[in-house]
Amino acid sequence: MLQRITQANTPVTTFVSQRRQLAQIVARESAETLVGRPGGLRVEILRQLIRPVAHQLAGRFVTYDRALGEAGLRHGSAWIVDAATGGLTVEGREHVPARGPLLVVANHPGLSDAVALVSALGRDDAWIVTAEYPFLRALRLASRRFLFVPDDRADRLPVFRRIVSKLRSGETVVVFPAGGLEPDPALSPVAALASIPCWSRSIQLLAEVTPDTLVVPAAIHGAVSRSAFDHPLAKRRGALSERQRMASLIQLTLPAYQADRVRITFGAPIEPSRTPDILAAVLTAMHALIGIE
């Protein structure tokens, strides 16, 4: 598949421009992670210093984007999982229907979670609901399968209608109801469980307006590697969220700290027509899927 991607007919100048754009985003966000705050002189100095590494990483992301855009979301995701993680373990795959409207609700530990989840689903019709991140917008091919949620709540109705339209057309929509990154259950199951009650009620609204949709909860473990989480630079961060963010940067930059084997566990499908409180049913299912190991 990589050979086919390399031989694609997309103009080289397009990928050069994309790589430059991604490198700028990676350099800025990495510098802010290392400094621990956005903006400022230290961030700017560090951003300039890490530009060569950011440019190298951007090249990798361009390749990933081409895989997702040209090989299809499912096959591209499977290739990325093989290339960038320690592999994928899927449990409860029998709970995922091969066709029909499907709303997949998952925790969001970050990095490889979305591609691992799409690969595990085994369906070619997946759409991913995501916030308006410049990095994701810069993935010009993959972003065609993203449904971007604006920061301003007043502007969210059109994207809600698009999500409903996809479900009514019998397609798959993947949502991360936390609205941001969460603790990885493989690193801190207690913290991961604590974030679930804060999930958005949009799950309930979507189920109510698309009663024929099956809702399948999915728990993601191991998107952030243990070795990166235990790196001295990560350990220096007091807050768990900051430590995990630093671990993600280390994992992304240094191949030796590549992600462990990612595990996806699907729960039994929930039928909105038979379940008055979908959100409560999802939260109960996620609590069981994450558990305390």
- The CA distance from 241 to 201, in Å, is 23
- Has residue 1 got a pLDDT over 50? no
How far is Cα 30 from Cα 24, in angstroms, rounded to an integer?
Answer: 10
User: Nearest-CA neighbor of 223 among 172, 281, 181?
Assistant: 181
Q: pTM to 2 decimals?
A: 0.91
DSSP strands (E only) in 132-201: 146-149, 172-175
Of the candidates 30, 79, 71, the residue with the CA atom closest to the CA atom of residue 52? 30
The one-letter amino acid code at 57 reads L
When pLDDT is cut at 50, 70 and 90, the band that residue 123 belongs to is very high
End-to-end CA distance of the chain: 37
More confident call, 19 vs 111 = 19
pLDDT of residue 3: 45
Q: What is the pLDDT of residues 5-39, one digit of tens each?
A: 444 455 567 789 999 999 999 999 999 988 888 88
Mean pLDDT for 131-136 is: 92
Query: Distance of CA 186 to CAs 125, 220, 260, Å?
Result: 29, 9, 10
- How would you class 72 by CB atoms within 10 Å of its CB: exposed for 0-12, middle for 13-18, buried for 19 or more? middle
Q: Where residue 195 falls among pLDDT bands split at 50, 70, 90? A: very high
